[in-house]
C-alpha cells in the first residue's frame, strides 16, 4: 500500500463555510481489481457507500482537475462521513491523485496507487477532522476500475482540448 500519510496541515476544518471551485462530484471507484489487469466491468452509480468500523462513508462522483499525459489523474470529490452512533453526516472534500492504466477496448481505467493528498471538512474541530480522515483513509482501496467515459465526461480540461471538425456548407 503506497498511500501517503496526511499530516495536520493537509486536514482542514472551517467554521466559516465550505467553498469549492467548480462543481462537486465524486470519487472512489468501487470494483477492486488485481494490480495488473483491467476487467470489463459495469461501473456502479454514485454516490458509493463504504462502511468502516460502524461509520458510513459516502463518496460522490469525482471532479477531474487534470489527467497529465493520461497517466496521472488529479481529482477531488465530495465526501459525507457519518461516524458510528452519529445521526448526521459531516461533509467535506477529498483531493486525490492516482496513476492510471487505460483499456480503450473495454473503455475502463485502472486507478492504481490512489493517493489522498488533502481532506477538508465543514464546521469540524481539527481533532474530529483527524478522526474522520483516518476513517476515510482506512476505507479507500489501493486500486479500482472506473469507466473511461465517466472520467472524460467530467473533465473540464479535457473538454476544452476536444477536437472539433468544421463542416463545409454544400
Phi first, then psi, for residue 100 (nearest 5°) are -130, 155
pLDDT above 90: percentage of residues in the chain: 39
The pLDDT value recorded for residue 159 is 54
Q: Say whether pLDDT at 34 is over 80.
A: no
The pLDDT value recorded for residue 142 is 80
- Mean pLDDT, residues 150-166: 62
Which residue is it, cell 481532506?
Answer: 119
The pLDDT value recorded for residue 15 is 40
- The lowest-confidence range among 92-101, 132-141, 144-153 is 144-153
The pLDDT value recorded for residue 119 is 94
Q: Note the pLDDT tens digit of each residue in 47-89.
A: 889 898 899 999 998 889 988 888 999 999 999 999 999 999 9
Q: Note the pLDDT tens digit of each residue in 4-25.
A: 445 444 555 544 333 333 222 2
Amino acid at each position: 500500500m503506497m498511500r501517503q500519510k496526511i499530516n495536520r496541515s493537509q486536514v482542514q476544518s472551517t467554521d466559516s463555510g465550505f467553498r469549492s471551485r467548480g462543481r462537486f462530484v465524486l470519487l472512489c471507484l468501487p470494483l477492486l481489481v488485481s494490480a495488473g489487469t483491467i476487467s470489463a466491468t459495469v461501473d456502479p452509480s454514485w454516490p458509493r457507500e463504504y462502511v468502516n468500523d460502524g461509520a458510513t462513508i459516502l463518496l460522490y462522483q469525482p471532479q477531474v482537475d487534470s489527467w497529465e499525459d493520461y497517466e496521472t489523474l488529479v481529482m477531488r470529490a465530495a465526501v459525507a462521513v457519518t461516524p458510528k452512533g452519529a445521526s448526521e453526516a459531516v461533509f467535506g472534500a477529498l483531493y486525490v491523485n492516482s496513476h492510471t492504466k487505460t483499456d480503450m477496448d473495454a473503455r475502463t481505467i485502472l486507478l492504481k496507487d490512489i493517493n489522498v493528498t488533502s481532506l477538508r471538512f465543514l464546521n469540524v474541530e481539527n481533532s474530529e477532522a483527524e478522526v474522520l480522515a483516518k476513517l476515510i483513509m482506512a476505507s479507500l482501496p489501493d486500486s479500482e476500475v472506473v469507466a473511461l467515459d465517466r472520467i472524460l465526461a467530467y473533465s473540464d480540461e479535457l473538454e476544452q482540448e476536444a477536437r472539433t471538425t468544421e463542416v463545409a456548407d454544400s
